[in-house]
């Protein structure tokens, strides 16, 4: 076989292989970005659903009147207690998903930056909240999330 032909065949094969690798990487990256976008939009939809809006209002009222998060949770009863837990678990879920890279952080800041300022005051910034044995680790995760989200320039509703 002609050495020039062999070299051309090897270059064609190498080019096809590299093209396939780069194409696969681009497709994988695009699919990953689509999943991150979809999950971020799903969280935004959940946060603004009528049911969760009701939960946010109840949790806000309970937290505003009872002090730091752990004490407010202990003092609350029934639906208000569940509302506080739901709010904490929502923000914890967002924090954990962001840590593993499952969310679009730029879009998350745009959607939740204004809420992070408000909920941070109620959940994390009050004395003793982060030191609580039961809730402290969760609230520290949420505080990390809020610190990232507060980089947003947007202002708006406090609930």
**Residue 157 within a domain:** no
- Residue 158 within a domain: no
- 154, part of any domain: no
Confidence at residue 24, expressed as pLDDT on a 0 to 100 scale: 62
pLDDT value of residue 31: 78
pLDDT of residue 131: 84
State residue 78's pLDDT score.
Answer: 93
Instruction: Count how many domains the chain has.
Output: 1
**45 is a domain residue:** yes
Would you state the pLDDT for residue 116? Answer: 92
Determine the pLDDT at residue 110.
94
Q: Can you give the C-alpha Rg of the chain in angstroms?
A: 24
Length of the chain in residues, anyone? 159
- pLDDT given for residue 152 in this prediction: 52
In a domain, 99, yes or no: yes
Asked if 87 and 123 count as a contact pair (C-beta separation under 8 A), the reply is yes
Residue 19 located in a structural domain? yes
Instruction: Find the domain containing 145 and state its range.
Output: 3-149
pTM of the model: 0.76
Q: Identify whether 112 is part of a domain.
A: yes
pLDDT in tens, the chain (159 residues): 677 777 777 767 667 666 666 666 556 666 788 999 999 999 999 999 999 999 999 999 999 888 778 888 999 999 999 999 999 999 999 999 999 999 999 999 999 999 998 899 999 988 888 888 889 899 999 999 999 998 755 455 555
**Other C-beta atoms within 10 Å of 93: how many?**
15
The three-point CA angle 47-55-138 to 5° equals: 75
Dihedral sign for Cα atoms in the order 60, 61, 62, 65: positive
CB burial readout 118-145, b (16+ within 10 A) else e: bbbebbbebeebbebeebeebbebbbeb
């Amino acid at each position: 076989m002609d050495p020039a032909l062999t070299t051309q065949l090897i270059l064609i094969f190498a080019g096809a292989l590299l093209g396939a690798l780069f194409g696969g990487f681009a497709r994988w990256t695009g699919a990953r970005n689509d999943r991150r976008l979809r999950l971020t939009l799903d969280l935004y939809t959940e946060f603004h659903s009528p049911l969760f809006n009701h939960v946010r209002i109840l949790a806000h009222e309970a937290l505003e009147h009872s002090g730091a998060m752990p004490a407010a949770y202990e003092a609350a009863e029934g639906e208000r207690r569940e509302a506080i837990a739901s709010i904490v678990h929502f923000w914890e879920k967002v924090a954990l998903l962001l840590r593993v890279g499952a969310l679009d952080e730029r879009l998350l800041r745009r959607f939740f930056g204004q809420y992070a300022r408000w909920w941070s005051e109620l959940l994390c910034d009050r004395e003793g909240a982060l030191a609580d044995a039961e809730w402290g680790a969760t609230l520290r995760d949420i505080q990390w999330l809020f610190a990232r989200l507060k980089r947003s320039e947007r202002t708006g509703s406090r609930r």
